Amino acid sequence: MSSRRSNPERAAEERLRRIARERLPEGLAVLVLRQAWAEFLVRVGGRLRFRANENDRAVRAYRAMSVADFEGVNARQKWANWRTIPRNLHGRLPARACRAVDLCSGVGDSTEVLACYLPEGSEILGLECSPEFVARARARSYRDAAGRPVKTGFRVQSVLEPFRDDADALLPDESVDLVNCCGALALNFQEGQLDLLAAEIRRVLRAGALAAIDAPAERDGKERTIRLFGRRGFEALGSARSCRLDRYAQICFRRDGR
């Protein structure tokens, strides 16, 4: 990593790596191999096109997958989340309990990382289209950095519909401090759908609150996402990715109106 980093930045990066190793001890090489084998079985056996950029098709593929298959194909994403999310949020979260929404939360791997890094007393709502993945996510426990339990809720819904909580109530306007998404928006959604999502994310976020949104890491794809969210009143504060080879990044946006 860069030698131009200040001491506090270097310490934050070392802490992040230590936590990532503690919470997910398996190395990247093992996870990549596991994922390649799981993808082979899912593609050949089930003919599931979960990397489709038409969302309907991706949703059908994910809903047809077992939790075990999904855990295989999500292995690299799980590793990346422990690096990308904390780097992207570092120094940007409010110093008080937050209300966060994790879009396309899968079996809760991204939610687990948020739980670890959000301030004490925060709550997280995961929205996910697969009932089986939601059942798995609900069965897990979520802990903050000090090992304290974190309150979570999960709801089965498409994120292309207005966001609701786990008791079915529409999320009120300007009630959320952070919307997060990993491993979904950059791949499984088309431009019109991303625009719809950006509008809904803006509706639920408080003025000045954050949206951490996955995007292609290459320049054109990243700039497209920044323009699209920019038209809905978001300012890009920076971006992060898990490692230099990661083809996806996460952009940190701030909602206007503060």
Ligand X SMILES: C[S@@+](CC[C@H](N)C(=O)[O-])C[C@H]1O[C@@H](n2cnc3c(N)ncnc32)[C@H](O)[C@@H]1O
- Where are any strands of DSSP class E within 217-258? 234-240, 248-255
Of 19, 138, 132, 142, whose CA–CA distance to 71 is shortest?
A: 132
- Residue span 67-106 as binding mask against ligand X, x where in contact by CB under 6 A, dash where not: -------x--xx--x----------------------xxx
109 is an interface residue for ligand X by CB under 6 A: yes
Task: Please give the residue whose beta carbon sits closest to ligand X in the complex.
Answer: 106
* C-alpha to C-alpha distance for 215 and 227, rounded to whole angstroms: 12
Nearer to ligand X (CB atom), residue 11 or residue 33: 33
Residue number with CB closer to ligand X (158 or 190): 158
Interface residue with ligand X, options 24, 48, 58, 100 (CB under 6 A)? 58
x/- mask, ligand X, residues 164-193, rule CB under 6 A, reads ------------------xxx---x-----
- DSSP strand pairing (151-156 vs 176-181): unpaired
Measured in degrees and rounded to the nearest 5, phi and psi for residue 213 equal -125, 130
Distances in Å between the alpha carbon of 166 and those of 126, 134, 171, 173?
9, 11, 10, 17
- Which parts of this chain interact with ligand X (CB under 6 A)? 55, 58-59, 62, 74, 77-78, 81, 104-106, 109-110, 127-130, 133, 158-160, 182-184, 188
